[in-house]
Amino acid sequence: MNIQESHLTKNQHLQIYKLMLSCRAIDKRVWMLNRQGKAAIVASAQGHESAQIASTVALEIGKDVFFTYYRDLGVLISLGLSFTAILQGFTAKSGEPMSGARQFPTHGAIPDKKLINLSNVVGTQIPQAVGAALSAKIKGTDEVVIVYFGDGASSAGDCHEGMNFASIHKLPIIFFCENNGYAISVPLNQQIATDNIASRAEGYGMPGTTIDGNDVNLVYETTKLASRRARNGEGPTLIEAKTYRHSGHSRADPATYRPEGELEKWLERDPLKIYRKRLIDFGVKESKVVAIENAVLKAVDDATEFAKNSSTPSKDVLMTEVWADGGSSWRN
């Protein structure tokens, strides 16, 4: 879909590009820190930027509820999580807002941003998100819940149970599958017997659509349509955004299982390269694009230094905010 066909304004397009650049730059920086032994684990979002960011900005940030998984760095950045906070999380430093640097990076919750990511066990966020959608329907809050997951999670029992329940009760939820073709090392054709994950939607009685996850405008418009359905009481939608991770499953995965030439083919369709070209073709001056790129890199450098100089959490805060009553003294 061309930029001209989108309902986004020129400024919105520039903001999306800035978010995509931010995600890529932070991701690369975390990988560098991991190689230096300063970040423990990394599950890269490189290649997923369009799918994550365009779907997030299509919703009502501050109102709608976001359930993410371990690769959703772009969603966090789109919701306003600062570079500093993200890097403090990956380097386990004080000030990290999601879990106080006590969880797997990017896990925990930020209630005022309506961001929830409680476990990195594959698929567990799906029934949790369905529960939040049921709550929204009962309370009549007009919220839409979106839950992100990979193609591997679509094979989990939690996914079936969540989609089935949401469809029966016409809950206001969007199931957003980031299909990068691999469940760690297992290719899609060994996970499902159909060509597309979205084809399963018919069996649950909800619409399902497969889209190019590297097309910002298409992801935005598809998610916007699904949110309108949800808000109108028409129930859930399954969106399958086909994309590709540029790295292995994590920093520990060399991805030697991929066929020769596959990565190079997908790198030609790098979402950042595609969107940058579209912006310039749309009439945005290249000097303005370069200025945005330079500003993002400087901001990442500044955040890196701040995170490096941040202190590590004290053992005194180990149990802070673990219990609903605010403390654990009576348990000791």
Q: Is 322 helix (H, G, I), strand (E, B) or coil?
A: coil
Please write the tens of the pLDDT for every residue from 191-203: 999 999 999 999 9
- The pLDDT, as a whole number, for residue 104 is 85
- Give all domains of the chain, ordered by start, each with its CATH number: 3-327 (3.40.50.970)
Residue 217: alpha-carbon gap to chain centroid: 17
Burial class (CB in 10 A: 0-12, 13-18, 19+), 239: buried
Residue 75's contacts (CB-CB under 8 Å, 6 or more residues apart) are 52, 53, 55, 56, 66, 68, 115, 148
Q: Comparing 78-87, 104-113, 170-179, 200-209, which segment has the lowest mean pLDDT?
A: 104-113
Provide the pairing of β-strand 145-150 with 173-179: parallel
Token pair for residue 66? Answer: 């976001």
Q: Is 275 helix (H, G, I), strand (E, B) or coil?
A: helix
Cα torsion angle, 86, 87, 89, 90, sign: positive
CB < 8 Å & 24+ apart, contacts of 272-278: 272/17, 272/20, 272/21, 272/24, 272/49, 274/50, 274/214, 274/215, 275/16, 275/17, 275/20, 275/50, 275/216, 276/17, 278/2, 278/3, 278/216
Token pair for residue 242? Answer: 């086909």
Q: Which of 7, 35, 228, 257 is catalytic?
A: 257
Q: Are 44 and 31 in contact (CB under 8 A)?
A: yes
In 3D space, the residue among 117, 202, 185, 174 whose CA is nearest the CA of residue 151 turns out to be 185
Q: Are 53 and 144 in contact (CB under 8 A)?
A: no
- The pLDDT, as a whole number, for residue 77 is 97
Torsions phi, psi for 182 (to 5 deg): -140, 135
Note the pTM of the prediction, 2 decimals.
Answer: 0.94
119 has a pLDDT exceeding 90: no
Q: Which of 71, 200, 245, 278 is catalytic?
A: 245
Q: Is there a catalytic annotation at residue 245? A: yes
Q: Is there a catalytic annotation at residue 249? A: yes
9 has a pLDDT exceeding 90: no
- Give the span between the Cα atoms of 135 and 67, in whole angstroms: 14
Q: Are 220 and 55 in contact (CB under 8 A)?
A: yes
Please write the tens of the pLDDT for every residue from 260-316: 999 999 999 999 999 999 999 989 999 999 999 999 999 999 999 999 999 998 888
In 3D space, the residue among 198, 218, 161, 195 whose CA is nearest the CA of residue 16 turns out to be 218
Q: Which of 24, 246, 249, 276 is catalytic?
A: 249
Over residues 135-147, mean pLDDT: 97
